[in-house]
Structure 1
Amino acid sequence: MEKGHNLTINGSGNYSGGQYDKISIRGDATLASDLECSAFNIFGTSEALESVKTKSVKVFGEAEVKGNLESEEMLIMGTMTVGGRADLKKMKILGTLDVGDNLTGDEANIKGMISVGGDVEYETFDSSGGFEIKGLLNADKINISLRFGQSFAEEIGGGVITVKKKSNTLLPFGKETGMLIAKVIEGDIVSLENTRADIVRGKSVKIGAGCQIGTVEYSTELTQDKNSTIKTKTKL
Structure 2
Amino acid sequence: MKKGQNLTINGSGNYPGGSYDKVSIRGDGTINSNIECSMFHIYGTGEALENVKTGSVKVLGESEIKGNLESSDMLVMGTMAIDGKAALEKIKILGTLEVGERLNGEVATIKGSISVGGDVEYEKFDLSGGFEIKGLLNADTITIGLRFGESTAEEIGGEKITIKRKTSLLPFVKEEGSLVVKVIEGDEIFLENTKADIVRGNLVKIGSGCQIGRVEYSNDFIQDKNSTVKMSEKI
Same fold by TM (over 0.5)? yes
Q: Does the 8 A contact of 1:110 with 1:130 survive in 2?
A: no
Counterpart of 1:177 in structure 2 is: 176
**Deviation at 1:196?**
0.4
Please say if 1:211 is aligned against 2:210.
Answer: yes
**Deviation at 1:34?**
0.5
Distance (Å, rounded) in 1 between the aligned partners of 2:179 and 2:15: 43
After TM superposition, list the pairs within 5 Å mapping 1:56-95 onto structure 2. Answer: 56-95=56-95
**Deviation at 1:187?**
0.2
**Deviation at 1:176?**
1.3
Distance (Å, rounded) in 2 between the aligned partners of 1:49 and 1:134: 24
Q: Does the 8 A contact of 1:190 with 1:205 survive in 2?
A: yes
Post-superposition Cα deviations, 1:162-201, rounded to whole Å, max 9, x if no partner, equal 011111232x236311101100000000000110000000
Distance (Å, rounded) in 2 between the aligned partners of 1:175 and 1:99: 29
C-alpha spacing 1:145/1:3, structure 2 compared with 1 (3 Å): same
Post-superposition Cα deviations, 1:35-64, rounded to whole Å, max 9, x if no partner, equal 000000101111101000000000011111
Distance (Å, rounded) in 2 between the aligned partners of 1:47 and 1:182: 33
Alignment RMSD (CA, Å)? 0.8
Counterpart of 2:225 in structure 1 is: 226
Post-superposition Cα deviations, 1:58-77, rounded to whole Å, max 9, x if no partner, equal 00111111110000000001
State the identity as a percent: 69
| Structure 1 counterpart of 2:157, one-letter code | G
TM-score normalised over the length of structure 2: 0.99
After TM superposition, list the pairs within 5 Å mapping 1:121-136 onto structure 2. Answer: 121-136=121-136
Distance (Å, rounded) in 2 between the aligned partners of 1:199 and 1:179: 16
Distance (Å, rounded) in 1 between the aligned partners of 2:4 and 2:228: 60
Counterpart of 1:200 in structure 2 is: 199
C-alpha spacing 1:173/1:28, structure 2 compared with 1 (3 Å): closer
Structure 2: tracts of 5 or more residues without a match: none
**Deviation at 1:150?**
1.1
TM-score normalised over the length of structure 1: 0.98
Detail structure 1 runs of 4+ shifted over 3 Å in the superposition: none
After TM superposition, list the pairs within 5 Å mapping 1:11-22 onto structure 2. Answer: 11-22=11-22
Post-superposition Cα deviations, 1:76-116, rounded to whole Å, max 9, x if no partner, equal 01111111000010000011111000000000011111000
- Report the number of matched residues: 235
SS at match of 1:128: strand
**Deviation at 1:146?**
1.1
After TM superposition, list the pairs within 5 Å mapping 1:154-173 onto structure 2. Answer: 154-170=154-170, 172-173=171-172
| Structure 1 counterpart of 2:13, one-letter code | G
After TM superposition, list the pairs within 5 Å mapping 1:18-37 onto structure 2. Answer: 18-37=18-37
Q: Does the 8 A contact of 1:141 with 1:158 survive in 2?
A: yes
Distance (Å, rounded) in 1 between the aligned partners of 2:216 and 2:35: 48
